[in-house]
Amino acid sequence: MLSENDLHGIYVPVITPFDTQERLDVESFERYLTSLIQHDMDGIVLNGTTGESPTTAWDEVGRLAEAARACMRSKALPLVIGSGTNSTAESVRRTEAAGLWGADAVLAVTPYYSRPSEEGVIEHFRRIASVGFPVIAYEVPSRTGVTLSAETMKRILDLDGIIGLKDASGGTSLAEKLLPNCQKPILCGEDAHLLEMLQLGAAGGMLASANVHTTAFLDVYAQAASGNMSLAAATFDRLLPLIRLLFRESNPAPLKWLLARQGHIASDTLRCPMARISDALQEELSALSEVIA
């Protein structure tokens, strides 16, 4: 199981491949993941936003977890499974299941849609953490409709069992307030802000963009961790145009298109209501991905 001290570096949230009939494509998943883990990232995240968690059934997550563990058998790589929903009871049940499936920690998003009070959100995380399995909190207000104050997030991070935070709050303001007074690791979850977050003292990132040009993202982290911020900035600047294109239309649609084009998965199919990317974005991604080292 992951501890606070283990939570650092670059974690890659993986996509969930579907065939053209929107059925789970485990064969593509195994091929894609086997290729991806040849890189020395610090962990894999299954069933996150990038994995289309809103439309992936929980039993399908179990099948993917089994496949992931088989692919990763020869490599000691942490597996984080997204278990958070807008139902506290369901999130608890999923956290228990993720532990049985061999996860090393779970990623639990701030409960969405219901627009709970901040006290309700704290209790939500307290109950998930009471399972006794490591929990990474995930703040992403652009998707949940809930924006937590730094004070509330600090109370969540102070809970036993919460080992860190994925901060996709849309900027660096939350991290700026938390990092000086927080002993638990904060990972950047907003790809375009990776360099800024590392400069502030973030422990790393959970980055969908790191599915492609993975080595360059690992270099950014390693260069920053060694104190060579100017080199990290130069490396990151080369990646930034691609990051911006990958998030121009809703993630993971651009990423899936690119992975399919590169032959890592058989199809860029997404589950409705997600739709494939525009022709214009396809052209831009195709041109840009060829020139980034």
Would you name the residues annotated as active-site residues?
138, 166
Flag whether 50 is marked binding: yes
Interior angle at CA 212, CA 139 and CA 9, nearest 5 = 50
Burial 62-92 (b: 16+ CB within 10 A, else e): bebbebbeebbeeeebbbbbbbbbbebeebb
Rounded CA gap, 256 and 221, in Å? 24
The binding site for pyruvate consists of 50
